[in-house]
Amino acid sequence: MMEDTSQEIAASALPEGALPVQTAIDELQSLYPQARYDLNFSTPLDLLVATLLAAQCTDERVNAVTKDLFQKYRSAEDYVAASQEELEQDVRKTGFYRQKARQIRAACQYLVTNYNGEVPRTIAELVKIPGVGRKTANIVLSNAFGITEGFIVDTHVGRLVKRFGWTQQDDPVKAELELMRLIPRQEWLSLAHRIIYHGRAVCVARSPHCVQCTLAAVCPSSTYRQ
């Protein structure tokens, strides 16, 4: 019964002319049934570090770097104990390595000081960690702990939901709040992952492949809408 109510709320709040939410949920599920967060991790701390490293870097490159990194650094204390220069070299291949090393060490120092080195389990606590915003907090909370408090809005999601007509917000936090009102809560995590996959494969930033898109007929931004 609760699921039906969520669907009704989503439908009633949908902007006029927007791609129907349930249509997108069903189609993207059929296209990407195994969609998941693509960064490899074993612990919540691993995921936090990997997500920080993923800024302006491909998931494939991050996974290549963290394969050895996570063997060397197994706790927040390990990152804090490392010198800035040593950690810079360990994450160098992810780009912007000086900034990322500082960010990781600051985040881990915060965890050691405030949470005995453990990653907290609420968005309110996570966003207080240096370098962590709502996107990273949502990623860690939902993928590491199975707790869904919000909707992941990365670059791909932000682009596609505007094209779908679900929001006109450029600010990720404002877009997230609108998406949370439109989309049933039980779909937040899986749909975000599937939108990311679709954004990489079809609805790319420049010259989206609308001719290949199975949502083209109902997408307000499609050049092939009939």
Catalytic residues: 135, 154
Tell me: is residue 203 an annotated ligand-binding position.
yes
Gap between the Cα atoms of 13 and 179, Å rounded = 10
How many DSSP H helices and E strands does the chain contain? 12, 0
Gap between the Cα atoms of 186 and 3, Å rounded = 8
Query: What is the three-class DSSP state of 38?
Result: coil
Cβ atoms of 18 and 220 closer than 8 Å: yes
Cβ atoms within 10 Å of 146's Cβ, excluding its own: 8
Tell me: is residue 219 an annotated ligand-binding position.
yes
Gap between the Cα atoms of 66 and 186, Å rounded = 30
Gap between the Cα atoms of 117 and 53, Å rounded = 19
Gap between the Cα atoms of 198 and 143, Å rounded = 19
Gap between the Cα atoms of 123 and 134, Å rounded = 7
Residues in the annotated binding site for [4Fe-4S] cluster: 203, 210, 213, 219
Residues in the annotated binding site: 203, 210, 213, 219
